Amino acid sequence: MMRPLSLLCILGILWSCAPVQERTSRQGYVLGTVCTVSAYGADEKLYDTVFAALKDIEERMKVDGDRSEIRLVNLSAGRHSVEVSADTLQVVQTALQFSSLAPGSFDITIGPLVELWGIGKKEQPVVPGREDIEARTSLIDYSLVEIDGKRIFLPKEGMGIDLGGIAKGYAADVARDLLSEAGVGSALLDFGGNILTIGTKPDGSPWKIGIQDPSLQRGRYVGVLSLIDRTAVTSGPYERFFIQDGTRYHHILDPGTGYPAETDIQSATIVTGESIRGDALSTMIFILGLKKGLEVIESLEDTEAVIITKDKEVYITPELEQIFTLADESYTLKIGSP
């Protein structure tokens, strides 16, 4: 007669049969930054699929290149509409929605101004002349963009769409969906300022996401967020800039003035469920500044923020109080509106 197995033996058999998922990662330069995907249970074929999707998004949504749909839309401004893919259409429509949320801050027709300044794209950018800036700024108006089915039309010659403030967020969401559909339940995506988490770590703990100190070198953190199935997207002037005649000019341009945004904050981090949402809002909030920025955040669902001011204050929305830890005592933590 067979002796019954003890519970310990049964558990031992189950554990020995269960596959052990290792953390693997893939890194590549795409979407204008270094993108890193680290996942438990992902194989090389899945990474190939994810990065192929990222490259495809980049090729169709950047402002130049033979496969760029946005390039064709911009070249056809004032003449005729251009049919685009469903993905590009979705991103443009979403960007227009955010452009209307706080007019004069985030605006996807900022393309001519971005091209003029060339910060992060030209080897030696210089401050453009005032007349050139005013001429480009006069072409910025998201409300003029016309959409008919899958066709996009810019009515003024010289107008131009630039999805640099939102396409990376969309790409992160696409990568998340591909991983999740393949059965990956634990992953961390880092797309150069856009952080997205899938599930928890294998031990059930949340992912720890550091908020960069905008006044110090990369890797120094003001605070840490504990995230599960959330994204944290940061905008700040500390990585792409140039200095001319002792003045620093950063890449976040104000569509109202035509110059780099002058604001009372050093960085804005949006915590939400969709990276595309965080991408657009982080830029918008940085341009709006602390008071108006928090007013916008408070009007939205599923949207929280960490805002670092020039006075070394860290403002967080109340819902983040339990998952945010201040890591630098030289900063003062503030909860809620000023």
Query: Would you place residue 84 in the very low, low, confident or very high pLDDT band (cuts 50, 70, 90)?
Result: very high
Say what the pLDDT of residue 7 is: 36
Average pLDDT over the chain reads 92
User: Which residues, in sequence order, are CB contacts of 255 under 8 Å at separation 6+?
Assistant: 104, 105, 107, 109, 110, 113, 137, 140
Range in 56-60, 96-100, 121-125, 322-326 with the lowest mean pLDDT: 121-125
Query: Would you place residue 77 in the very low, low, confident or very high pLDDT band (cuts 50, 70, 90)?
Result: very high
CA 177 to chain CA mean position, Å: 16
Are the CB atoms for 212 and 267 separated by under 8 Å? yes
Q: How far is residue 260's CA from residue 282's CA, in Å, rounded to a whole number?
A: 15
Phi, psi of 267 (to 5 degrees): -160, 155
Number of domains in the chain: 1
Q: How far is residue 224's CA from residue 286's CA, in Å, rounded to a whole number?
A: 20
pLDDT in tens, 160-171: 999 999 999 999
Q: How far is residue 215's CA from residue 315's CA, in Å, rounded to a whole number?
A: 16
Query: Would you place residue 91 in the very low, low, confident or very high pLDDT band (cuts 50, 70, 90)?
Result: very high
Residue 51 has pLDDT above 90, yes or no: yes
Q: Is residue 135 part of a domain?
A: yes
Residue 5 has pLDDT above 80, yes or no: no
Specify the pairing of strand 313-316 against strand 332-335: parallel
Say what the pLDDT of residue 217 is: 61
Whole-model pTM? 0.91
Say what the pLDDT of residue 124 is: 86
* DSSP labels, 62-113: SSSSTT-HHHHHHHTTTT--EE--HHHHHHHHHHHHHHTTSTTSS-GGGHHH
CATH number for the domain harbouring residue 83 = 1.10.3980.10
Say what the pLDDT of residue 39 is: 97
Longest Cα separation, the chain: 96
Say what the pLDDT of residue 215 is: 83
The DSSP secondary-structure symbol of 262 reads P
Say what the pLDDT of residue 193 is: 80
Q: Is residue 303 part of a domain?
A: no
Q: Is residue 136 part of a domain?
A: yes
Q: Is residue 28 part of a domain?
A: no
Range in 4-8, 126-130, 138-142, 279-283 with the lowest mean pLDDT: 4-8
Q: Is residue 49 part of a domain?
A: no
Q: Across residues 180-201, what is the average pLDDT? A: 96
Q: Is residue 141 part of a domain?
A: yes
Q: Is residue 98 part of a domain?
A: yes
CA 18 to chain CA mean position, Å: 37
- Share above pLDDT 70 across residues of the chain, in percent, rounded to a whole number: 93
pLDDT in tens, 203-253: 999 999 999 998 876 678 999 999 999 999 999 988 788 999 999 999 999
Query: Would you place residue 1 in the very low, low, confident or very high pLDDT band (cuts 50, 70, 90)?
Result: very low
Q: How far is residue 55's CA from residue 53's CA, in Å, rounded to a whole number?
A: 5
User: Which of 22, 27, 21 has its CA nearest to residue 175?
Assistant: 27
Domain of residue 71, residue span: 63-153
Residue 15 has pLDDT above 90, yes or no: no
Q: Is residue 139 part of a domain?
A: yes
Q: Across residues 31-36, what is the average pLDDT? A: 94
Are the CB atoms for 199 and 228 separated by under 8 Å? yes
Query: Would you place residue 20 in the very low, low, confident or very high pLDDT band (cuts 50, 70, 90)?
Result: low
Query: Would you place residue 8 in the very low, low, confident or very high pLDDT band (cuts 50, 70, 90)?
Result: very low
Residue 85 has pLDDT above 80, yes or no: yes
CA 11 to chain CA mean position, Å: 44
